[in-house]
Amino acid sequence: MKFSFSNPTRIEFGQGQIAAIETLIPKNQRVLVLYGGGSIKNNGVYDQVSKALEGYEWEEFAGVEPNPTVETLDKAVAQVKSSKVDFILAVGGGSVIDGAKYVAASAKYDGDGWDILTGKHTVDAALPIGAILTLPATGSESNGGSVISKKATQQKLPFMSPFVYPKFAVLDPDVIKSLPQRQVVNGLVDAFVHVCEQYLTFPQHAPVQDGYAETLLKTLIALGKDVDAPDDAWRANLMWSANQALNGLIGAGVVHDWATHMIGHELTALYGVDHARSLAIVQPSLLRVQFDSKQQKLTQMGKNVFGFEDGEDTARKTIDAIEAFYQSLSVDTQLTDYQGDKDTAISKILSQLKNHNMVALGEEKAITLEVSEKILQEAV
Ligand code: NZQ
Ligand code: ZN
């Protein structure tokens, strides 16, 4: 095993912690507050941020949409450049924080920001970012990943850079009291799949990574059972487990999968399916199609997470249990639940995967377009 691990994001966790940002952003910085469609205006978060920023020079950019688009974000880049902004404060869920990462990197690049997503430009500098998380799901608040869409071409592509890790993230579990149930459930499912993408591969002699991954999976399943009766501890544990699911720790030194995410992104880009729900459609089918290569880890997960006895059918029972977990949260796991004409949908998704060179996905790069087609055919 060989790896380099650094997570430079400072976490301020707990109720009332938004006030701490005045100790985290230097007073001489001109701040841009970036946010989404307005939920922060209705739940008191905007007021808390304004109060904490008293004495700073700051301005705002509103309207970053779920699955943020380059069309909207380029307007924020222009504002950052013309106002000479020094620091970007993202206040929102994964979409706003991902958007902030794009804006921070694009502001330091003279070319077309979309080059960052196509790989034509490798990020070599970015403005500093702080994050106030309002939706526990993506882990974006303390990782170097970002996923950006282009409306014009129905594309949704990721980029990673060590330059866009937020300097700090505020995780106040109280701010999620206003979340609609649909978004709470999305967060649970997204975090669960993030752990699976790093854990559910093949045995890699990594008991530390495996053991922590199993703890996170068990925690998320337990939280799912009480999704209708959240209390302070419930909200805090969801926030912390979603963060830990994708802050790099459980993935250090092991080969990952991520095929579910890459196929899922195409479903979102083409049909607007919520990110987490795209994963719930793809993953159970992917696990069945990739059964042989994943059998050992599925069996391990069955025993250590679901408490199954070791047996010939443990791995299959594990896939059923994962699917049942999503269904227990009322998350559909079939493509046809979203898109009536299955064949047309599949051929469009495959052609987008091909355009994006997503032709050798998964931990063994064994998911070719033919395999993706099989996965989609079975996700009926
Ligand atoms: O825009 P506002 O008005 O704020 O409303 C949002 C939005 O409509 C609302 N919301 C957020 N916090 C709220 C709230 N409503 C009430 N109370 C609150 N406290 O929730 C809606 C969805 O928000 P969004 O940020 O889109 O959700 P999420 O956090 O699930 O982010 C999804 C995006 O993150 C990307 C996804 O692809 C998707 O674009 N991902 C980013 C990753 C990363 N950077 O590491 C990894 C993930 O796998 C994922 O791909
Ligand atoms: Zn995800």
pLDDT tens, position by position, 342-371: 889 999 999 999 999 999 999 999 999 999
pTM over 0.90: yes
> Looking up tokens 């594309």, which residue turns up?
155
Question: Which residue spans within the chain are E strands per DSSP?
Answer: 10-13, 30-35, 57-61, 87-92, 129-133, 145-150, 155-160, 168-171
Give the ligand 1 atom nearest the CA of 158: 50
Distance 140 CA to ligand 2 centre (A): 9
Residues facing 35 on adjacent strands: 91
* Non-local CB neighbours of 236 within 8 Å, separated by 6+ positions: 13, 14, 173
Q: Please tell me the predicted confidence (pLDDT) of residue 58.
A: 98
Task: Tell me the average pLDDT across 236-259.
Answer: 98
Q: Please tell me the predicted confidence (pLDDT) of residue 342.
A: 87
Number of Cα atoms under 13 Å in the Cβ half of residue 125: 5
Q: Please tell me the predicted confidence (pLDDT) of residue 326.
A: 97
Q: Is 336 a residue whose pLDDT tops 80? A: no
Q: Please tell me the predicted confidence (pLDDT) of residue 334.
A: 86
Distance 365 CA to ligand 1 centre (A): 29
Q: Is 207 a residue whose pLDDT tops 80? A: yes
Give the ligand 1 atom nearest the CA of 276: 30
Q: Please tell me the predicted confidence (pLDDT) of residue 338.
A: 65
Task: Tell me the average pLDDT across 4-16.
Answer: 97
Q: Tell me which residue has its CA closest to atom 22 in ligand 1.
A: 66
CA Rg, the chain, in Å? 20
Ligand nearest to the CA of 144: 1
Which runs of consecutive H residues, i.e. helices, occur in 134-231? 181-199, 207-225
Q: Are 238 and 129 a contacting pair, CB within 8 Å?
A: no
Distance 310 CA to ligand 1 centre (A): 38
Q: Please tell me the predicted confidence (pLDDT) of residue 363.
A: 98
> Looking up tokens 């009766």, which residue turns up?
229
- Residue 176 gets the label, from left (phi > 0), alpha (psi -120 to 50) or beta, of alpha
Give the ligand 1 atom nearest the CA of 149: 39
The model's pLDDT over 79-89, given as tens digits with 9 standing for 90+, comes to 999 999 999 99
Q: Are 134 and 176 a contacting pair, CB within 8 Å?
A: yes
Q: Is 169 a residue whose pLDDT tops 70? A: yes
Ligand nearest to the CA of 246: 1
Distance 249 CA to ligand 1 centre (A): 22
Distance 276 CA to ligand 1 centre (A): 10
Nearest Cα neighbor of 287 from 309, 304, 265, 302 is 302
Amino acid identity, residue 3? F
Nearest Cα neighbor of 295 from 263, 273, 272, 318 is 318
Q: Please tell me the predicted confidence (pLDDT) of residue 335.
A: 81
Q: CB burial class (10 A; 0-12, 13-18, 19+) of residue 275?
A: buried
Q: How does residue 277 score in pLDDT terms, banded at 50, 70 and 90?
A: very high
Say how far apart CA 264 and CA 253 lie, in whole Å: 25
Ligand nearest to the CA of 136: 1
Q: Tell me which residue has its CA closest to atom 49 in ligand 1.
A: 138
Q: How many CB atoms lie within 10 A of CB 13?
A: 14
Task: Tell me the average pLDDT across 283-307.
Answer: 98
Say how far apart CA 358 and CA 156 lie, in whole Å: 12
Compute the mean pLDDT over every residue in the chain, rounded to the nearest whole number.
97
Give the ligand 1 atom nearest the CA of 136: 29
* Non-local CB neighbours of 322 within 8 Å, separated by 6+ positions: 196, 283, 284, 287
Q: Is 339 a residue whose pLDDT tops 80? A: no
Distance 115 CA to ligand 2 centre (A): 22
Give the ligand 1 atom nearest the CA of 35: 4
| DSSP classification of residue 325 | H
Say how far apart CA 271 and CA 345 lie, in whole Å: 9
Site to probe by mutation for ligand 1, drawn from 142, 275, 282, 283 as the one with most ligand atoms within 8 Å of Cβ, is: 275
Give the ligand 1 atom nearest the CA of 186: 30
Q: Is 303 a residue whose pLDDT tops 90? A: yes
Say how far apart CA 359 and CA 352 lie, in whole Å: 10
For residue 41, the surrounding DSSP H or E stretch is: helix 39-42
List pocket residues of ligand 1, CB cut-off 6 Å.
36-40, 43, 66-67, 92-96, 98, 134-135, 137-140, 143, 145-147, 175-176, 178-179, 183, 186, 190, 246, 261, 275
Task: Tell me the average pLDDT across 61-75.
Answer: 98
Distance 238 CA to ligand 1 centre (A): 15
Q: Are 56 and 27 a contacting pair, CB within 8 Å?
A: yes
Task: Tell me the average pLDDT across 194-211.
Answer: 98
> Looking up tokens 């943020």, which residue turns up?
68
